[in-house]
């Protein structure tokens, strides 16, 4: 990919660039607000207790220390993420690419995007009609919650970004195709179980895609293909971004060759990743994203209202749960699901209406 400048990736970004990343990323700002509070609240409590001369309880000191440590580790992670994102921004500017951050993508061809279970966390894309896009998606579904008498309430592990590749084709495909790696698929979109036939995704390509994206799903329909992976892009590494650009072009070229009828005849030329001089793919109109101050206030309200409401409800039914362990665990499980649902609803509200890329 000689027409791309990768020098900005992995390079440190200034404080202004990192603040701009936070201002344009509501979910990241939401998490940053929480970790800042994890640092400030224990620190303030410790200062007040020490200034008042009151004795420090060992258990309380350990609890405050754990909160403080968690907040510091969270801030380190925020700095890492904003630095990486600042590098992606510089990469997009250097190569004339559009930058998309924390945006719903219900117009994308993949089922995960259409249903709203994934949003674009961060991506870059070309500006011509036959666009190419690479980036990370972020899950917006509730984590799995398990309730049992033996273990109580169990919540699924931490979320992780998921790489995706997207390309717009020169014309609609003859037949839609969905490939999840479990069945070979022929160029007519049907499962291939016939011995000796050539699958659309060759074994070599499948190996490369799995090595890059982990278990993946490839969806091709209309005039678009989208590959959704299961591991992060890791844009801090230039070789990962370069490999993504190569893979999305290989997928698009194979689709054009096998699934698209070229009325003009002859092979389709690859799309240059540098800023195109041809017709641009129109960007959706910018709609009102949530301002940073609104995001911070929403988090503060959430952290106050939800615990107070939960305390009121639990105190009112405390006599009912007394001595009934299974029922108590069930109520706690329902409360956890409700809290996660509220947080997910707030997260969707924060990212709603964010559609236009920044150029």
How wide is the angle at C-alpha 69 spanned by C-alphas 64 and 71, nearest 5°?
Answer: 95
What are the strands, taking DSSP E only, across 159-242?
162-168, 177-179, 217-221, 224-228
pLDDT at 132: 94
Residues present in the chain in total: 359
CA dist 126 and 153 (Å) reads 45
* Neighbouring C-beta atoms of residue 203, cutoff 10 Å: 9
pLDDT at 279: 41
pLDDT over threshold 90, residue 289: no
pLDDT over threshold 70, residue 359: no
pLDDT over threshold 60, residue 332: yes
Structure tokens at 296: 């911070």
Per-residue pLDDT band at 78 (split at 50, 70, 90): very high
Q: Which residue has the higher pLDDT, 258 or 149?
A: 258
> pLDDT (tens digit, 9 = 90+) per residue, 171-227?
998 888 888 865 555 545 455 443 444 578 888 888 999 999 999 999 999 999 999
Exposed e or buried b per residue across 42-67, where buried means at least 16 C-beta atoms within 10 angstroms of its C-beta: beeebeebeeeeeeeeeeeeeebeeb
Question: Which residue is it, tokens 């490939």?
Answer: 179
How wide is the angle at C-alpha 353 spanned by C-alphas 162 and 227, nearest 5°?
Answer: 25
Q: What percent of the chain has pLDDT over 90?
A: 32
Per-residue pLDDT band at 288 (split at 50, 70, 90): very low
pLDDT over threshold 60, residue 283: no
> pLDDT (tens digit, 9 = 90+) per residue, 102-133?
988 889 989 999 998 999 999 999 988 789 99
Question: Which residue is it, tokens 């070309």?
Answer: 126
Task: Give the CA count within 13 Å in the CB-facing half-sphere of 123.
Answer: 30
CA dist 142 and 140 (Å) reads 7
């Amino acid at each position: 990919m000689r027409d791309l400048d990768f020098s900005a990736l992995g390079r440190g970004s200034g404080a202004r660039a990192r603040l701009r990343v936070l201002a344009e990323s509501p979910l990241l700002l939401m998490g940053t607000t929480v970790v800042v509070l994890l640092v400030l609240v224990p620190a303030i409590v410790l200062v007040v207790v020490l200034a008042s001369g009151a004795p420090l309880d060992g258990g309380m000191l350990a609890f405050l220390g754990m909160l403080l440590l968690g907040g510091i580790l969270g801030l380190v992670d925020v700095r890492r993420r904003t630095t990486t994102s600042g590098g992606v921004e510089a990469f997009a500017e250097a190569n004339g690419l559009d930058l998309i951050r924390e945006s719903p993508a219900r117009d994308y061809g993949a089922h995960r995007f259409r249903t709203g279970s994934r949003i674009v966390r961060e991506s870059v894309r070309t500006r011509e009609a036959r666009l190419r896009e690479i980036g990370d998606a972020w899950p917006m579904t509730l984590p799995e919650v398990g309730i049992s008498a033996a273990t109580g309430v169990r919540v699924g592990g931490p979320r992780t970004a998921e790489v995706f590749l997207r390309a717009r084709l020169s014309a609609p495909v003859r037949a839609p195709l969905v490939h999840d790696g479990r069945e070979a698929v022929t160029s007519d979109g049907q499962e291939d179980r016939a011995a000796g036939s050539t699958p659309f995704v060759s074994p070599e390509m499948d190996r490369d895609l799995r090595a890059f994206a982990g278990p993946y799903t490839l969806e091709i329909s209309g005039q678009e293909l989208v590959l959704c992976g299961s591991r992060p892009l890791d844009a801090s590494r230039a070789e990962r971004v370069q490999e993504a650009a190569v893979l999305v072009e290989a997928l698009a070229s194979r689709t054009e060759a096998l699934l698209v009828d070229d009325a003009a005849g002859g092979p389709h030329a690859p799309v240059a990743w540098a800023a195109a001089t041809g017709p641009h793919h129109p960007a959706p109109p910018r709609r009102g994203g949530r301002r940073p101050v609104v995001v911070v206030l929403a988090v503060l309200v959430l952290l106050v209202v939800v615990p107070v409401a939960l305390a009121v409800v639990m105190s009112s039914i405390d006599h009912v749960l007394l001595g009934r362990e299974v029922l108590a665990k069930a109520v706690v499980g329902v409360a956890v699901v409700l809290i996660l649902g509220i947080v997910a609803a707030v997260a969707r509200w924060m990212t709603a209406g964010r559609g236009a890329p920044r150029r």
